[in-house]
Amino acid sequence: MYWNQSMGLNSPERLRSRSIRTGQLEVLAAALAFAASVPASKLLLRGITPLALSGALYLSAGALCALLALFSRRSSRRAESHAIRGTEWFWLAGAVLSGGVAAPLLLFAGLRQVSGHAAGLLLNFEAVFTIGLGALLSGERLGRRGWLGAAVVILGSVMLAVPGEPITPGPTRLAGITLVIAACALWGLDNNLTQRVSVRDARQIVAIKGLAGGLTSLLLAAAFGGFGHWNVLSLIAAVGVGAVSFGLSIALFVRGLRQLGVLQTGMLFALAPGFAAILSWVVLRESLGGWGLLALASMTAGALLLATDRHEHVHEHEALEHAHEHTHDEHHEHEHAPVPAAGVPRPHAHLHRHEPLVHAHPHVHDLHHRHRH
């Protein structure tokens, strides 16, 4: 590292600050990229069936992430540490079926029956179901801020259902809302299953989920004759939306996660549903009413509360030896032999051991804090 001591242009503090700003911009770009999928999919659904669109989007996302995972392999040792093995394939298969096949099908089916901004805001329920299922299946605990956030999200969904001049209530709209919320429930299940294999490379996981889920959806569409009316323009658009909104978005999210950590990354990405609603209003020229604005404010606030929920208590870490990509923090204080000339790489992956530890600090339910309460 070159450091001008007189001006401090490349001081560690300045480089760290620049790295944080870059990470924040990457996560915001990831949120915008994902949000753009809502109005774009709404337009594509005018001539394409939900099952076929789901297959095309996920297949292109999986292909992009497969290329990114291939290019990121710097050594055979790192590739081995990221390889999915054993029972992890069982959890990943469940994630593919719930989050790669069923959830997008329900989302796109619901998107046909509700406005783009309503569907975008309802995506906030994914965080609610992710945390709720985590508490139910893994004994995780929701703090006071999390409970308040979930309540505010639900309040916002009630606002969306209030009859008003810009919104036409009816059975079709109610069915669409139900389908989108069901999709969020399946994605919540997907997130909990994927967490079981989150020690592996996220790009590899998304590549498998995208390729497997996309091919499955396209095969089902072929079996049931549900492709719809495709042309060259719609095919290019679908491939682009899938690669950017579901592929590149994940890659940017992972890069931001390494720089910012779980809390700040989650908080910034929680803005995605609000972005989706705003983009739908602009791109689709949907009517905007007072209840819609209140729902946007309520559900975005709830999502931010959920994303920043954490708790503190005395907890025990058992001895553990594993390999995953990490940085040096209070849970990764180990030596490297030999130490590279440029210092300890950040982030890096290798086999390392965690010694037993009992301590208390604010934490979320990440890779090293999956304990019951």
Render each residue's pLDDT in the chain as its tens digit; 373 residues.
444 444 445 555 666 677 778 878 888 999 999 999 999 999 999 989 999 999 999 999 999 999 988 887 654 445 455 667 778 889 889 999 999 999 999 999 999 999 898 899 899 898 888 878 877 776 666 678 878 888 888 888 878 766 553 444 455 678 899 999 999 999 989 888 887 776 677 788 889 999 999 999 999 999 987 888 999 999 999 999 999 999 898 888 877 766 766 666 777 888 888 999 899 989 998 876 777 788 888 888 888 887 777 656 555 656 555 555 556 655 556 665 554 544 555 555 556 666 666 655 554 555 554 555 5
3-state secondary structure at position 242: helix
Are the CB atoms for 260 and 23 separated by under 8 Å?
yes
Pairing of the two strands 348-354 and 320-326 = antiparallel
pTM: 0.76
Residue type, 367: L
> 50 preceded by cis ω (within 30°)?
no
**Rama region for 168: left / alpha / beta (φ>0; ψ in -120 to 50; rest):** beta
- Hey, what's the torsion of the CAs at 169, 171, 173, 175, to 10 degrees? 150
Closest CA to 295 of 281, 310, 308: 281
Six token digits for residue 346: 């950040």
Predicted pLDDT at 258? 67
Residue boundaries of the structural domains of the chain: 15-312, 315-363
Concatenating the DSSP letter of every residue in 140-167 gives: ----HHHHHHHHHHHHHHHHHHS-BTTB
Residue type, 289: G
Predicted pLDDT at 166? 46
Predicted pLDDT at 6? 43
Six token digits for residue 108: 């796109």
Report the interhelical angle of 50-71 vs 37-44 (nearest 10°): 140
Predicted pLDDT at 165? 39
Strands of 9-61, DSSP E = none
Predicted pLDDT at 84? 74
The DSSP H or E segment spanning 326 is: strand 320-326
Pairing of the two strands 357-363 and 311-317 = antiparallel
How many CB atoms neighbour CB 196 within 10 A?
16
The DSSP H or E segment spanning 361 is: strand 357-363
Report the interhelical angle of 249-269 vs 202-223 (nearest 10°): 110
